[in-house]
Amino acid sequence: MINISDYSDSLIQKEGIWHAKTNSQISYPEEGNSVCYQIEEHSFWFKHRNKCILTAVKKYHPKDVFFDIGGGNGFVAKNLEANQIPTVLIEPGFTGCKNANKRGLQHIVCSTLEDAKFYKESLPAVGLFDVVEHIEKDQEFLQLIHSYLKPNGKVFITVPAFQFLWSNEDADAGHYRRYSIAQMAQKLQKAGFKINYATYIFSILPLAVFLFRSLPSRLGLNKNSNDISKHKNEHQEKPGMLSALLNRIWNYEINQILAGKSLPLGGSCFIVAEKI
């Protein structure tokens, strides 16, 4: 059992969820967690990202408590806990926290990282899974993460890759930017981290993202980027030969992570860094 008071004395528990005393604004659409909640369980994208995260966490941080910051509906946190990794979900959106509670997560903090007022140098490891792109002052945020981590603590990060893949979906999701591995690594090193591992994941997606999101957005054709049925269709696992091919590619990516090898291209960046 995780004792939240070991990490903060500024949280209040109500109906199974810990709350901060203040609530800061975030760059994330209010309906975002509700949309994701309808998609996650049947999404090839969310499922593969979960496998990549679990593989890396087992390899680089197999034992201590893990803090999933900005973890939405708890889809990642639930998977980590199911694999014997004690996890605390930190999520500022109350809808996401309620959905995580429905999923059976016991350690939920409804707050931003700053508002939770965790003790400095108290967190063993944190996950920022598609979070940093929502932070306007990303360099300051990474330095804040550094201050909360224990010495040699780990940060696990996924962010959308390559600015040339920017589309209306990014704008509607509240993104400030997309990244390359080199850009994210440079920011982490400036914040006081060393890189343990870095790779791209979703290796075959850049072409599809460019053709079906980025290019139409530039041409003014992609005006229904918030359409939930469109998102469901994009994320739905397709049966038959295509699904078998995709599964072979995803398994290859998992094996690369296990071996500590990097992929040169992908729709997302995935980095593990250590506080120095």
Q: What is the pLDDT of residues 22-31, one digit of tens each?
A: 888 776 776 8
Residue 100 CB-density burial (10 A; 0-12 exposed, 13-18 middle, 19+ buried): buried
Average pLDDT, stretch 59-73? 94
Q: Judge contact between 116 and 13, C-beta under 8 A.
A: no
- H-assigned helices in the chain: 32-39, 44-60, 75-82, 94-102, 113-116, 138-148, 168-172, 181-190, 205-209, 215-218, 228-235, 241-258
Q: How many angstroms separate the CA atoms of 276 and 67, rounded?
A: 19
Q: How many angstroms separate the CA atoms of 272 and 218, rounded?
A: 33
Q: Judge contact between 122 and 140, C-beta under 8 A.
A: no
pLDDT score recorded for residue 225:
61
- The answer on pLDDT for 227 being more than 70 is no
Q: Judge contact between 38 and 12, C-beta under 8 A.
A: no
pLDDT score recorded for residue 215:
95
Single-letter amino acid code for the residue at 44:
F
pLDDT score recorded for residue 222:
72
Q: How many angstroms separate the CA atoms of 139 and 132, rounded?
A: 9
- The answer on pLDDT for 73 being more than 80 is yes
Average pLDDT, stretch 50-70? 95
| Residue 157 pLDDT level (bands cut at 50, 70, 90) | very high
Q: Judge contact between 94 and 110, C-beta under 8 A.
A: yes
Of 251, 197, 262, 202, the residue nearest 61 (C-alpha) = 197
In percent, how much of the chain has pLDDT > 90? Answer: 83
- 92 phi, psi to nearest 5 deg: -75, -20
Domains defined for the chain, CATH in brackets? 4-275 (3.40.50.150)
pLDDT tens readout for residues 197-225: 999 999 999 999 999 999 999 998 876 66
Ramachandran region, residue 175 (left: φ > 0; alpha: ψ -120 to 50; beta: rest): beta
Q: How many angstroms separate the CA atoms of 170 and 178, rounded?
A: 8
Place of tokens 């694999």: 83
Of 68, 72, 38, the residue nearest 174 (C-alpha) = 72
pLDDT score recorded for residue 23:
80
